[in-house]
Chains A and B, each alone.
Chain A
Amino acid sequence: GQQLNQSPQSMFIQEGEDVSMNCTSSSIFNTWLWYKQDPGEGPVLLIALYKAGELTSNGRLTAQFGITRKDSFLNISASIPSDVGIYFCAGLGTSYDKVIFGPGTSLSVIP
């Protein structure tokens, strides 16, 4: 079945540093979604990407839809303590498809 891989699995960074994480798949997706989840809460949608090559920003966050449609990238600039959490990528083929989630990247920010 469809599966997503995320890397790195976890990362520890200093406050103020930039962060990069990525998501890859063996299948093509038409939509990529990036979520952040805090412990015990539901995932919060950060960025949605709908077109191959698309680059979209949301404040300090920037995400890109890979040209091959099999990958996506998320960058966080000038990290702050509240960026701590688990970041999930998710892909789907059409709006009618089930959303496939990656295993997540755990981010820790050291003040």
Chain B
Amino acid sequence: DAGVTQSPTHLIKTRGQQVTLRCSPKSGHDTVSWYQQALGQGPQFIFQYYEEEERQRGNFPDRFSGHQFPNYSSELNVNALLLGDSALYLCASSLVSRGEQYFGPGTRLTVT
């Protein structure tokens, strides 16, 4: 049973560029959430997708957008990258009826 997978593992981008991160949920899960984790801090909620709709959103600007596909996989897009966007981006999947979330290994984004 495959767990949550994310790609790519690492990414280096230049300020002002755009980036797309990808996530495949754990088998059987229908909900995907995205988090940003800066060094030395806990994960910060970006948004959650269920039934291809954004259901909840944290305090992140509109530069952060996402998408969920019919197979429940998801993408996180960040436009006009800033140096402060450098972080570990985590995807977590869950069942809509259950609160427990399972995390992927993350994508390390570095903005130079």
Which A positions have Cβ atoms within 8 angstroms of B? 1, 30-31, 33, 35, 40-45, 48, 50, 88, 90, 92, 94-104
Which B positions have Cβ atoms within 8 angstroms of A? 4, 33, 35, 41-45, 48, 55-56, 58-59, 88, 90, 92, 94-106, 108
For the complex, what is the distance from the CA of A92 to the CA of B43, rounded to whole Å?
Answer: 14
For the complex, what is the distance from the CA of A48 to the CA of B35, rounded to whole Å?
Answer: 19
For the complex, what is the distance from the CA of A48 to the CA of B95, rounded to whole Å?
Answer: 14
Residue contact B45 to A45, C-beta cutoff 8 Å = no
Q: How far is the CB of B25 from chain A (nearest CB, A)?
A: 13
Residues of B within 8 A of A98 (CB): 33, 45, 48, 56, 58
Residue contact A94 to B99, C-beta cutoff 8 Å = yes
Q: Which 6 A-B pairs have the closest CB atoms?
A: A101-B42, A42-B103, A31-B99, A98-B45, A48-B100, A95-B99
For the complex, what is the distance from the CA of A54 to the CA of B39, rounded to whole Å?
Answer: 32
Residue contact B104 to A96, C-beta cutoff 8 Å = no
* Residue among B4, B100, B103 with max Cβ neighbours from chain A (10 Å): B100
